[in-house]
Structure 1
Amino acid sequence: MSTNWSTNTSFAGTASGASGTILLGRILLSVIFLLSGFGKLTAIAGTAGYFGSLGLPLPMVTAIVVGLIELLGGLAILVGFQTRIVGWVMAIFTVATALVAHTGWDDQMQMINFMKNLGIAGGFLVLASSGAGAYSIDAKRG
């Protein structure tokens, strides 16, 4: 007997159960970006200094832009606003961050952070594909 994974609700759970799981995933994905973005923006001089040490151009502007992407992107994912678009943006941003800040692979922590970023990007791509679920602004907007 073959199992149809996409329509077998006894395996996948009810629609509300799936939406609850998507909500939990959105919460877990957003926390790191909300905290990180807030931290960058409230310690902007330190963030800019760090970005300057990485050789990034216009470190103060870059720090503000990165902080806003993290904070606003994390908030959009949390509430489920424009989730498919924001999921793509955050996936690309997270991979770019890995390539800019976590390529010192001779340091095991940098390798772990690189792989963590790839995993997070995968979660964002799932959201970009599946959408935010029923418990979201996207669902309320119809």
Structure 2
Amino acid sequence: MRSRPLYDVIAVLARLGVGIVFMAHGWQKIEAGINETSRTFDGLGVPLPTAAAVYSAFVELLGGAALIVGLGLPVTGVLLFLDMAGAFAFVHADQGLFMVDGNRVRNGYELVVALGMASLLFAAGAGGRLTLDQWVIGKRLRRPDDEDEEDAASFVASLRQAETKPVKKPRSPRQLKSPAPAPGPAEAPETSGKDTGVAEGSADDVLVAGRRKSQRRRASTTQPIKRGDDKDPSA
């Protein structure tokens, strides 16, 4: 089983070696001049020689530097792979495998195949973690995810707190409009013996409507009936 730190170190060394080769070829084309490179491509049968010279020179130089530092590896790897695919198809395919066979320079396709496949591997994610993509761009891309996770966690916590709190039942309109309860018999004010009739009558009016009526009946039965038109028969 491979060790992740060891793999990252090996990936850095591989990017360094491939990137140096690409930068050397790109610098060679720029040093010779774009026009001279274009005439060479034209003599080799490359279509659109000027555009091909500009593309290959700058992609190889800048792409090799990007491979070394690990910047934009998916895009850089694809561009370098297309550069080597064009070189294989238009220049090296009919020259055989070996670049040098014996004492003859055959200009074979072994180098462009190796460089092209390595670029494709880097584009597919084989560049390791020791890259600018991981340190700079990856860090910025991970920040919104962390903030979203924190927001989601706080939202869930607030929902749990709302569930644990007791829910107060709203009072009905009838309860809101109901008057205060009347004081009981024990809270009725004490009265003196002299004014028992008036005090009891007022208390009867407050407590029960029928109690005052019964008090009046008792008062009428205890008092004598006076008749103004009755005369003494002896007079």
User: TM-score interval w.r.t. the shorter chain?
Assistant: 0.7 to 0.9
Q: 1:97 to 1:75 in 2, by over 3 A?
A: same
Percent identity between matched residues is 23
CA distance in 2, matches of 1:35, 1:106: 23
1:16-55 residue pairs with structure 2 within 5 A? 16-44=5-33, 45-55=35-45
CA distance in 2, matches of 1:60, 1:32: 22
Q: 1:128 to 1:57 in 2, by over 3 A?
A: closer
Shift of 1:93: 1.8
Which 5+ residue runs of structure 2 have no aligned equivalent?
A: 100-104, 139-235
**Counterpart amino acid of 2:65?**
L
Structure 2 equivalent of residue 137 of structure 1: 132
8 Å CA contact retained: 1:83, 1:128: yes
Shift of 1:76: 1.0
What RMSD in Å do the two structures reach over aligned CA positions?
A: 2.2
CA distance in 2, matches of 1:38, 1:20: 27
Shift of 1:58: 4.5
1:73-92 residue pairs with structure 2 within 5 A? 73-92=63-82
- Which one of the candidate residues 29, 54, 60 is aligned to 1:64? 54
Q: 1:117 to 1:58 in 2, by over 3 A?
A: closer
Higher relative contact order (CA 8 A, sep 6+): 1
Structure 2 equivalent of residue 5 of structure 1: none
8 Å CA contact retained: 1:41, 1:63: no
CA distance in 2, matches of 1:101, 1:19: 35
CA distance in 2, matches of 1:128, 1:59: 26
**Counterpart amino acid of 1:21?**
I
CA distance in 2, matches of 1:75, 1:131: 17
Normalization by structure 1: what TM-score? 0.79
- 1:114 is the counterpart of 2:109: yes
- Which one of the candidate residues 98, 102, 109 is aligned to 2:88? 98
Which 5+ residue runs of structure 1 have no aligned equivalent?
A: 1-7
**Which of the two has greater helix per residue?**
1
Larger radius of gyration: 2
How many residue pairs match? The answer is 131
